[in-house]
Amino acid sequence: MKFDTPAKDNPIDQLNVVGQPHDRIDGRLKTTGTAHYAYEWHNEVANVAYGYVLGSAIAKGHINSIDLQAARNAPGVLTIVTAENAGPLGKGEKNPAKLLAGPTIEHYHQAIAVVVAETFEQARAAAELIKVDYRREQGVYNLAEEKPAVTTATEEEPDKSTGDFASAFAASAVQFDATYTTPDQSHMAMEPHASLASWEGPKLTLWTSNQMIDWCRSDLAKTLKLAKENIRVFSPYIGGGFGGKLFLRSDALLAALGARVAKRPVKIALQRPLIANNTTHRPATIQHIRIGTDNTGRISAISHESWSGNLAGGPSETAVQQTELLYAGANRHTGLRLAKLDLPEGNAMRAPGEAPGLMALEIAIDEVAAKVGIDPVEFRILNDTQVDPANPERFFSRRQLVECLRTGADHFDWKQRNAKPAQIRDGRWLVGMGVAAGFRNNLVMKSGARVHLDAQGIITVETDMTDIGTGSYTIIAQTAAEMLGVPLEKVVVRLGDSDFPVSAGSGGQWGANSSTAGVYAACVKLREVVANKLGFDPQQALFSNEQIRTGDRSAPLKEAAATGTITVEDDIEFGELDKQYQQSTFAAHFVEVGVDIATGETRVRRMLAVCAAGRILNPKTARSQVIGAMTMGVGAALMEELAVDTRLGYFVNHDLAGYEVPVHADIPVQEVIFLDDSDPVSSPMKAKGVGELGLCGVSAAIVNAVYNATGVRVRDYPVTLDKLLKGLPELI
């Protein structure tokens, strides 16, 4: 199905099942331990061996030699795979560095060997016996030191300019110029990267934890130099990804290599210290923002430049993209700068680009509002735009930022906020409120599905879509149930198998909207087949209560499959509506904090997110996504930071003991409001993504609340005690 004109009325609009707050149909499996995650496939293959990955102890240099003798002679060891005996390997398109290094080392904890043994404990003990002689080279690990030398645009993202920013800024009545920093951050999903690999002749089967089945399969085929058809990938349940499992990683490759050499199925889970350095992370940024306004507060000039670092061939952190579209202003400039660093690979982490970009922009907007003397909510409303500022002929398909801000301000009782900082006391706590806009572009991807109808009236949906805790099983079942007029219990959903049609996968906030649109397309085709088989006009037939009807005539749906299961397959392919309309999602985040006047300890007291993200397919699962994102925003604002050893080039706090994330005690009651919305330009579902929008802007709202509470403005994340103490009012 080609989607190239805005959606009209269709069966989804009935909202009998779609749009309702159904429980997750995979919830019971996960809470009872019967949903198998990647390391928990115990009965699919026999005689499984265990692998343990050895990561490089240096960040840059060469391996002079590896002494494997003691490890090979250790109890239970079956084989040890290194670059020397792995056979010729390619490199996937999405991996800047090799997943198995040797002799060149590109980053710390880059995998250099995998020990395969009868038990995990034997593999781990043997790995400790491997002796590696390295030749360390000087690396580049400090973004701040490299920033002055990197002043040109990246090749993939050239600078964008509209009007004459320099002249307009110089002539502005109010000028603001500041620099902000965000740190390296880790996904820190509870489930580690894990894989089980098994060979049958030339064919490989991989059970793994990966958000994008087809990406994983394609890059594994290129790396192993196999035909893609000889690889089957399973990933039906994922225990958290946040972008860290978008791509092929070393656990999958090394499980496959270990199994090939050992001639046994091999299971590998990356040990926690390796995950931060061996996989991917969100890169640090240095962001320079300049804003000019007239005396009434209208933005006339806005510039946002961001520096980030990565390995050669790695992407930049696109932290300026929201600034191109969020606020009006005739004279604009955005630019990305990419430094080559020898730190581990930087790549997508939940809401890449907008999450760190809004951490800076939405503080800057607050600072300008204060400088002009306008309430920060009203300042944002004053500078709203309904068109792409760089292309005024291109309207937003739907834009409800003002409604988000107004609704949130009323619900949060924003009028009680004291505009003068450090005025509200509650015992030892200084109390303040903060606001920030949320923005995330709406992305869509081609997505396919296969749908079966059997003689019992059961609908089975198959697609390689994944569920990373987002509720994919449930919204896909809701879509099929709505389209075919059956109860939710009559729908079976099978996900995460590369033998199924290729879907959008889970990432970039495109998964829910795109994958359900693919199911919609397949169900449209199934409706046509069923109608024709039973003698109904497909254009007039109604599907409800497990019946198909036209006028006074009806027939049971299952009757169409009485002589055999009906199977159809289709996909949704998106046209060029995104060129005609700007498609984005919007939010307003409101936060109240308390800051201890003596210690600088910050406690979030209450949080509210008001979201406009098209049709909400399931309010219950969508709310879970948003409050989870809000929680991540608390971490980014107050505690999360990968500490870089700038001498040796690695992340020091590479485990959950040293890398702090929010816990239940850090999070207050969270409220989420979804504005009534549907966007026919987005897809037949008229939905958009929402899971990453819930993070975008949260951290800035917290920092703005801290400023309102204390009068201390922090521009370097995270806002830790040491950054507040010197500026806190004297204890009375």
- The answer to whether residue 313 sits within a structural domain is no
User: Please, are residues 233 and 210 in contact by the beta-carbon 8 Å criterion?
Assistant: yes
Separation between Cα atoms, residue 234 and residue 190, nearest integer Å: 19
Query: Do 567 and 636 sit in the same domain of this protein?
Result: no
Query: Do 612 and 661 sit in the same domain of this protein?
Result: yes
Query: Do 545 and 590 sit in the same domain of this protein?
Result: no
Query: Do 16 and 117 sit in the same domain of this protein?
Result: no
pLDDT tens digits, one per residue of 402-412: 999 999 999 99
The kind and range of the H/E element at 534 are helix 511-534
| H and E: helices and strands count for the chain | 17, 32
- The answer to whether residue 382 sits within a structural domain is no
- The answer to whether residue 323 sits within a structural domain is no
Last residue of a domain, one of 226, 247, 278: 278
Is it the case that residue 353 has pLDDT exceeding 50? yes
The domain that holds 554 is classified in CATH as 3.30.365.10
Cα 318 off chain centre by: 14
pLDDT, residue 731, reads 58
Is it the case that residue 732 has pLDDT exceeding 70? no
- Residue 40 burial (C-beta neighbours within 10 Å; 0-12, 13-18, 19+): middle
Q: Is the dihedral of CA 93, 99, 104, 108 positive or negative?
A: positive
Cα 268 off chain centre by: 24
- The answer to whether residue 156 sits within a structural domain is no
Which two structure tokens, joined as six digits, stand for 533? 């088989």
Give the count of beta carbons closer than 10 Å to the beta carbon of residue 721: 14
Query: Do 546 and 601 sit in the same domain of this protein?
Result: no
Separation between Cα atoms, residue 256 and residue 99, nearest integer Å: 12
Domain with 541, as residue range(s), is 2-35+444-577
Percentage of the residues of the chain whose pLDDT score is greater than 90: 98
Is it the case that residue 300 has pLDDT exceeding 60? yes
- The answer to whether residue 284 sits within a structural domain is no
Query: Do 208 and 102 sit in the same domain of this protein?
Result: yes
Which two structure tokens, joined as six digits, stand for 371? 């400088």
Which two structure tokens, joined as six digits, stand for 50? 């265990």
- The answer to whether residue 147 sits within a structural domain is no
pLDDT, residue 224, reads 98
Separation between Cα atoms, residue 289 and residue 181, nearest integer Å: 11
- Single-letter amino acid, residue 607: M
pLDDT tens digits, one per residue of 620-650: 999 999 999 999 999 999 999 999 999 999 9
- Residue 43 burial (C-beta neighbours within 10 Å; 0-12, 13-18, 19+): exposed
Query: Do 248 and 211 sit in the same domain of this protein?
Result: yes
**Using omega within 30 degrees of 0 as the cis cutoff, is the peptide bond preceding 315 cis?**
no
Query: Do 251 and 114 sit in the same domain of this protein?
Result: yes
What are the residues whose beta carbons fall under 8 Å from the beta carbon of 13, sequence distance 6 or more? 686
Separation between Cα atoms, residue 637 and residue 705, nearest integer Å: 11
Give the count of beta carbons closer than 10 Å to the beta carbon of residue 119: 12
pLDDT, residue 155, reads 84
Separation between Cα atoms, residue 317 and residue 356, nearest integer Å: 8
Is it the case that residue 489 has pLDDT exceeding 80? yes
The verdict on whether 641 is a catalytic residue reads: no
Among the listed residues 469, 572, 585, 566, the one whose alpha carbon sits nearest the alpha carbon of residue 516: 572
- The answer to whether residue 326 sits within a structural domain is no
Query: Do 419 and 499 sit in the same domain of this protein?
Result: no
Number of domains in the chain: 3
- The answer to whether residue 707 sits within a structural domain is yes
Query: Do 546 and 689 sit in the same domain of this protein?
Result: no
Measured CA to CA in angstroms, residue 75 lies from 117, 126, 222, 254, 263 at distances of 8, 8, 34, 21, 18
pLDDT, residue 453, reads 98
Please give the backbone phi and psi of residue 323, each rounded to the nearest 5 degrees, phi first: -70, -20
3-state helix, strand, coil in the chain (%, to 5): 30, 30, 45
Query: Do 210 and 103 sit in the same domain of this protein?
Result: yes
Query: Do 556 and 594 sit in the same domain of this protein?
Result: no
Cα 541 off chain centre by: 40
Q: Which of 324, 462, 569, 692 is catalytic?
A: 692
Last residue of a domain, one of 236, 260, 278: 278
Last residue of a domain, one of 225, 250, 278: 278
Residue 331 β-bridge partners: 301
| Residue 257 pLDDT class (50, 70, 90 cuts) | very high
3-class DSSP assignment, residue 644: strand
Q: Across all residues in the chain, what is the average pLDDT?
A: 97
- Single-letter amino acid, residue 100: L
User: Please, are residues 327 and 385 in contact by the beta-carbon 8 Å criterion?
Assistant: yes
